[in-house]
Structure 1
Amino acid sequence: MTKKLTPEQINPWVEKIINNKSIFSAIFHVENEDRSFVHTAAAGDIQPDSKYFIASTTKLYVSAVLLRLMEEGKISLEDKLDKHLPDEMVQGLHKYKGTDYSRQLTVQHLLSNTSGIPDYFFHKQPDGKTAADALIAGDDQPWHLEKTLEVVKTLTPKFKPGAKAAYSDTNYQLLGRIIENITGKPIEEVFREFIFEPLKLQNTYSYKDITDTSPAKFYAGSQPLWLPRYMASVTVEGGIVSTAEESARVLRAFFNGELFPKERIEALKKWRMLFSPGVFYFGIGLEKIWVPWIASPFKPMGETLGFWGQTSAFAFYNSKTGLYMTGTANQFNGKGHQAMGNLMFKCMKSAL
């Protein structure tokens, strides 16, 4: 299926991205099912083997851990949050239109982004600003779960649990604490034990040392951002560092049954379309790229599943072409997502 896809095609596509003045680095890795075709292209101030923050692609790793714990009978999607979290953490978490739904919240509500709990990262606080605004302005500060809940409990939920879907990093911070309580281990140790070590990853780790300057910087427009305190505090929602090749290794393991029985994936495909941040489908701990019909009217591309990160980091698998695609444009403002999305579409169309 990848006979039409060559490095000579891919390299110029990646190099062209840098011509956009708001994108200063790009790395794109693609491999097929049997790994007879494997290629990593890079342009700008990044190399093919560079380490970078995979951002919210980390959430795919969270899904893998939870599916493994479900297989072991230690948690279920129907579990109420107060089964795994202390009372003071759940209390007052979701009060909506005069009703307290806090004790009705389930693991599935968190993992599917249907809890209605505000996103601490983009939700406007009483002063009209968001946590993202402060970080982009260079105010590097940690956002641990306790701080997040202190803010979130003062905000109005978006909707009744299960009524709609809205992206919320708060959900994943709560899932991280649930995982830690079940395993009795910090989330970085869980990631290492469940994923990094079994897959023999040498360049993938949870970012914790704020003096570590090896990951590539990301940008907000033309402004470089270096936020070590923040990144070290949000391990479960976006604090993993990896390379494009090792990110593809995890992506492949997610879909081929190495981390949990692959039969469980079908149950995750309960899609709801989200329009922020960006347009895509969100299932239960899994994203699907929205592809308009006009993009490939005569050769449908099929499902492209995986995860986006806010910095345009991505990891997606297309079953129709058998392509695993990972990488980043290290750009916060959305233009990187558009550029890397276009690259994925080009590769899939060439491989059809």
Structure 2
Amino acid sequence: MGRALEQSLLDKWLAQIANKRNVFSTVLCVEDQKQSLSLVSSGGEMQTGDRYFIASVTKLYVTAVILKLRAEQRLGLDDPISEYLSKEIIAGLHMMENRDYTEEITVKQLMSNTSGIPDYFSGDVFSELIAGHDQAWSLDKTLNAARRRKPKFIPGQQKKAQYSDTNYRLLGLIIENIKGDSIQSVFKEYIFDKLNLTQTYFYHNPEDTTPVPFYYKKKRLDLPQYMASIGAEGGIVSTANETMIFLRAFFNGELFPIGDLEELQREWNFLWAPGPFFYGTGISRQPLSPFGLRRGLIGHWGQSGAFAFHHPESGLYFTGTVNQAVGQSAAVQAMARIIRQYGREKKALRLHADVP
């Protein structure tokens, strides 16, 4: 049967990840469908209970809140965003061939990255941040930067998608406008308090040094001004255990009608950047091999190296981080290794049960 997937083995593997090039701290939590398996381990400069920036994993939380608002009949996914955002906010965000398409964009197109609204973050902004030039990015600054970029396709064009953090800034504002409250208060009501997440919060104070730092290659990135300004785009801080509580609730129908999960995965678009991976509606899919493009991990990455994924075939759930902006491959390898080990154990147990 080989060595069992147990705490000592996970500890060994996490220590190996932390010894990889440019991975200085890591944590990984893994559970199975029935919670008969529940392990968490860390490596390098990190403890299992440490809080870290989950970055774009925050987008899963946005998806959960949007679907809950729909269940409350507060919005529809096919509603144009102009129903919830002022003309001053959205004017000129999608200009193509001398036509402004912005008022035609729907909530769902923001969630699925099919709006065509340019991503303010890629290119110069990312380069400046990894060079250590920390600065706050207000909503106005973000939208003005997006306006200066040229869209690559009209909204909803078939098989066209572009990952755009700008989309999720707008979704955050839609949530605030519907609820008449700050994004922090809305998420506290809909998710943090509901799931009793006491270590999870929106990072809003640049003086807060609680989260574990993350890196770009060998360079530590200290970006408190930026991280405190991005809100629904990627501003949540959490732990591996509390992200696991959220992830299970997301997939088990505790936060929105469970039937909505199928809708999120109905249409997938392939993205090269910051991937490569597939994007559905407010959720992503990460294949584990070129031979399984229609399968793999379902959830979300964070640019900080954070991850929150479910693997439907094995029934496993994964949360954690490698705290490295270019460390996703190390996380994928670790999750794939655990899935293989778990599969071998289950197969051996079935064979053992069949022996008379």
**Structure 1-normalised TM-score?**
0.93
Q: Shift in Å at residue 291 of structure 1?
A: 2.6
Q: Shift in Å at residue 7 of structure 1?
A: 2.0
Alignment match, 1:187: 183
Contact 1:301 1:320 in 2 (8 A): no
Q: Shift in Å at residue 152 of structure 1?
A: 1.2
1:279 corresponds, among 272, 276, 281, to 276
For 1:272 and 1:155, the matched residues in 2 are separated by 22
Alignment match, 2:136: 142
| 1:98-138 residue CA offsets vs partner (Å, 9 max, x unmatched) | 3221111111110000011111110x4xxxxx111111122
1:155 corresponds, among 149, 157, 169, to 149
For 1:166 and 1:228, the matched residues in 2 are separated by 27
The yes-or-no answer on 1:339 pairing with 2:323 is no
Contact 1:301 1:348 in 2 (8 A): no
Contact 2:287 2:295 in 1 (8 A): no
Q: Secondary structure at the match of 2:212?
A: coil
Mean alpha-carbon deviation: is it higher for 252-261 or for 139-148?
Answer: 139-148
For 2:335 and 2:21, the matched residues in 1 are separated by 21
* RMSD over equivalenced CA pairs, Å: 1.5
- Match of 2:228, as an amino acid? A
Contact 2:114 2:161 in 1 (8 A): yes
The yes-or-no answer on 1:305 pairing with 2:302 is no
Alignment match, 1:317: 310
**Structure 2-normalised TM-score?**
0.92
Q: Shift in Å at residue 4 of structure 1?
A: 4.3
Q: Secondary structure at the match of 2:228?
A: helix
The yes-or-no answer on 1:97 pairing with 2:64 is no
2:198 corresponds, among 192, 196, 202, to 202
- Match of 1:150, as an amino acid? N
Q: Secondary structure at the match of 2:328?
A: helix
Alignment match, 2:252: 256
For 1:346 and 1:301, the matched residues in 2 are separated by 19
For 1:10 and 1:115, the matched residues in 2 are separated by 41
Q: Shift in Å at residue 320 of structure 1?
A: 2.1
For 1:47 and 1:54, the matched residues in 2 are separated by 16
Which runs of no fewer than 5 residues in structure 1 stay unpaired? 125-129
Report the CA distance shift for 1:158/1:294 in structure 2 as closer, same or farther (over 3 A).
Answer: closer
The yes-or-no answer on 1:289 pairing with 2:286 is yes
For 1:294 and 1:85, the matched residues in 2 are separated by 42
- Match of 1:144, as an amino acid? S
For 1:77 and 1:41, the matched residues in 2 are separated by 38
Contact 1:95 1:157 in 2 (8 A): yes
Q: Shift in Å at residue 40 of structure 1?
A: 0.9
Q: Secondary structure at the match of 1:281?
A: strand
Contact 1:279 1:290 in 2 (8 A): no
Contact 2:30 2:317 in 1 (8 A): yes
Q: Shift in Å at residue 312 of structure 1?
A: 1.3
The yes-or-no answer on 1:327 pairing with 2:320 is yes
Which runs of no fewer than 5 residues in structure 2 stay unpaired? 344-356
- Match of 1:289, as an amino acid? Q
Report the count of equivalent residues.
338
